[in-house]
Structure formats: structure tokens, C-alpha cells
């Protein structure tokens, strides 16, 4: 299978839904590669891998190291890497950090959480030939407490503001736009108006594509409170627990290692 490029993604708009999942390691990158259109190395690794309460403590080194592990083991799918909190506060900082991430990881896209205040940063990065994915609606880096997150784009004023922001980001050079925790009317209107693809997470079937965190669809941790938009497709946690119990039982009963596993 040949490498998916941006033109391929662009041609899927209004024709074939785009699939996207997160990955933070070589094993998952290898599993996802070619099975989804896009792999996102999200700053959600802060909460899923490191047990952080939010994504604000995620730093560049984390994103670069996990990003390199994923991209170097991805041959077909396109790759996106999140820029962490407070790494794109102005044009100079954003450009330096984006170039550092891209030169180290060789990812296809950089994603930044966007609002009306950093449209110029999107334009600046785009003008410097960096492929930018914008992210609007609920932007998690704004929250220190995820329990306070609520969906947006429910009333006419919010919808109008989101549509206008999306159009400005497209005009600024964004190649894709993530719509998070957004009302159906808003996501549908934005998707219909924009020429670039929209990727939804809790933003309804009306987006051009969908993204979820891999840990959530696998149900790696049933103890976490999952948002309404999450759907689990299997229960890896149960399988891991079963395997661990079997291993422990065999160790205790001196059945492992057997001669087969011994030198």
C-alpha cells in the first residue's frame, strides 16, 4: 500500500469518511498503519500514559519522543503531532517549536488548538510551509479541570462564531480542522462551508472524518470517566487481567517457565 498524501485526504471530503486514531508507541503505530487514514500523536498521552489530570504538563520532549516512535514505524498512514500547551504563544515560538518537532519526527502535520487570538500564528506557520491542523470547539489545553468541559455550538450565536472562526482558519492556511464536543448543527454547517476536511471528536457524523483516543476504543482503563462521545469496540483490560492472572498462577505453581522456555 502506498503512502497516503494530503491530496488523497482532501479528495475524501464529501465522498469517504476519514478515519483517525491516536498512537504513542511503536506497537500501536504498526497496528494502526494503513488501517486508518491518519494517526494522531495527541497530547492526550499526558492523561492516558502519564496519569496527568490534564494536558498542560505535556512538554515538547514528550511529544517529540513519542512522535518519532510513531512516525518512524508508520509507512502508509499520514501522521499528526500535537503542539503542547504554551509552545505556540507567539509566531517566533510557534515556528521554532514546530520546526523542531517536524525535523525530529518527520511527521506530516502539526496540530494546534486554535481560537480567534492565534489565527495569525496559523497563517505564519502555513506561510513557512508547515502543514497545520487547526482545532476548535472544546480545546482541552484551556482546562485544568476536565470535569468542567461542556459541549459548545448549541445556540445560534455560538454556531455563527464557530463557523466564522473555521472560515478564518481555512483562509489562514489550515489543511484540516478538528471539531471537538460540538453541536450537530454547528459541525454540519462548518463541514458544508469549508473546502478542507473536518475531523470530529464528539461532533457528530456530519464531519468528514472521526478521531478517538485508542485507549478509549480498546477500553484499556475502565476506571476512568469517559465522555459521552466515546464508544468502546473491545475490552482489552479484561484480556490483560486474565493474562496477568494466568501468568501469576503458573509462576506460583512453578509451571512457568517450563523446559520449553528454559535454556
> Which are the catalytic amino acids?
180
Cβ count near 125 (within 10 Å)? 25
Which candidate, 128, 90, 103, 127, places its Cα nearest to that of 112?
A: 90
Residues in CB range of 64: below 8 A, 6 or more apart? 100, 101, 104, 105
DSSP result, 191-218 = HHH-SS-EEEESS-TTSSEEEE-HHHHH
Q: Say if residues 24 and 68 touch (Cβ distance below 8 Å).
A: no
Question: Grid coordinates in use for 73?
Answer: 514505524
Cα–Cα–Cα angle for 76, 82, 83, rounded to 5 degrees = 140
**Distances from the Cα of 111 to the Cαs of 104, 135, 199, 238, 242, in angstroms?**
16, 7, 12, 33, 38
3-state secondary structure 94-110: HHHHHHHHHHHHCCCEE
Q: Tell me whether strands 176-180 and 132-137 are parallel, antiparallel or unpaired.
A: parallel
Helix (H, G, I), strand (E, B) or coil at 34: coil
Distance, in Å, from the CA atom of 239 to the CA atom of 235, rounded to the nearest integer, reads: 7
Q: What letter would DSSP give residue 180?
A: E
Amino acid at each position: 500500500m502506498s503512502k497516503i498524501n494530503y491530496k488523497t485526504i482532501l479528495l475524501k471530503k464529501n465522498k469517504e469518511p476519514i478515519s483517525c486514531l491516536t498512537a504513542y508507541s511503536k506497537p500501536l503505530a504498526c497496528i494502526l498503519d494503513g488501517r486508518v487514514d491518519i494517526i494522531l500523536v495527541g497530547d492526550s498521552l499526558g492523561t492516558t500514559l502519564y496519569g496527568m489530570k490534564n494536558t498542560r504538563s505535556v512538554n515538547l520532549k514528550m511529544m517529540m519522543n513519542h512522535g518519532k516512535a510513531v512516525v518512524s514505524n508508520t509507512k502508509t498512514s499520514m501522521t499528526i503531532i500535537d503542539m503542547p500547551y504554551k509552545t505556540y504563544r507567539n509566531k517566533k515560538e510557534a515556528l521554532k517549536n514546530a520546526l523542531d518537532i517536524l525535523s525530529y519526527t518527520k511527521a506530516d502535520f502539526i496540530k494546534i488548538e486554535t481560537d480567534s487570538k492565534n489565527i495569525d500564528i496559523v497563517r505564519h506557520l502555513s506561510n513557512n510551509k508547515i502543514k497545520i491542523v487547526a482545532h476548535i470547539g472544546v480545546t482541552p489545553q484551556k482546562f485544568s479541570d476536565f470535569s468542567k468541559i461542556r459541549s459548545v455550538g448549541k445556540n445560534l450565536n455560538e454556531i455563527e462564531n464557530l463557523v466564522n472562526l473555521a472560515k478564518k482558519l481555512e483562509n489562514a492556511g489550515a489543511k484540516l480542522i478538528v471539531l471537538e464536543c460540538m453541536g450537530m448543527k454547528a459541525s454540519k454547517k462548518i463541514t458544508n462551508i469549508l473546502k478542507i476536511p473536518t475531523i470530529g471528536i464528539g461532533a457528530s457524523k456530519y464531519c468528514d472524518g472521526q478521531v478517538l483516543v485508542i485507549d478509549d476504543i480498546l477500553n484499556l482503563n475502565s476506571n476512568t470517566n469517559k465522555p459521552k462521545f466515546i464508544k468502546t469496540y473491545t475490552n482489552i483490560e479484561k484480556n490483560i487481567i486474565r493474562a496477568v492472572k494466568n501468568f501469576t498462577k503458573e509462576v506460583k505453581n512453578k509451571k512457568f517457565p517450563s523446559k520449553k522456555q528454559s535454556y
